[in-house]
Amino acid sequence: MFAVENLHKSFSEKKVLQGCSFSIPDKEIRVLIGRNGVGKSTLLKIITGILYPDSGDVLLNQRSLLRDPTEKRRVGYVPQSSALFPHLTIRDNVAYALKNGRGKEEEIDTILTHLDLHEYEQAYPYQLSGGYRARVALGRALFSNPAIMLLDEPLTEVDHAKKTEMLPEFKKILQELSIPVLYITHDPREAALIGTSYMAMDANGVTQVNSAEEAFSFIQ
């Protein structure tokens, strides 16, 4: 179980998060939908440890993550535009967590095979399509043995037809992890295909809703 409890965060006089609270059970893919500027990026930065909240807590299995440095939080993070290391091969990108003492070398081949990346393992990111770069970014996050997954619009480089093809596969992989997943997107169809639950975010915080359609209507 992952939980955010009464998070507050301000920058100078601008209040970005004001009492943000929600929880995500294991095995659930919670899609978060909100307009730009409502605090989604700030929320992710607090969960990953890049930012510290003014008050509130972030809990994983009832233990606060705020006491841990970023590299010890076991948060798998897939950013927008994949953010791969251009000078590293696909294999080395996936296995990057080894540099921080995370992951097991014998699991690299399993992940490459699972994501259909084996034939590209010695290629470089610029040689791959947007869809395959997204697979590499997901593989890198999976290799770190996460206890929670955060995906911030991970398919922005992928066209709609390819998204429709990839999303059922991504959903199956994420559900097999049996951990909480927070997935951010601005695409209603993507939200409907990937999510098992939904919440909308506005200046007042987050509200759990029953469907992707309701989430998008909530923020109109």
Token digits of residue 126: 């610029």
Q: How confident is the model at residue 218 (pLDDT cuts 50, 70, 90)?
A: confident
Place of tokens 């999303």: 167
Instruction: Please check whether the domain covering 2-218 is classified as CATH 3.40.50.300.
Output: yes
Q: Is residue 99 over pLDDT 90?
A: no
Contact between residue 142 and residue 75 where contact means Cβ atoms under 8 Å apart = no
**Rounded distance, CA 39 to CA 17, Å?**
6
> Which of 216, 200, 206 lies closest to 17, judged by CA?
206
Q: Is residue 8 helix, strand or coil?
A: strand
Q: What integer is the mean pLDDT of 122-144?
A: 94
Please state the domain extents for the chain: 2-218
Q: What is the pLDDT of residues 171-181, one digit of tens each?
A: 999 999 999 99
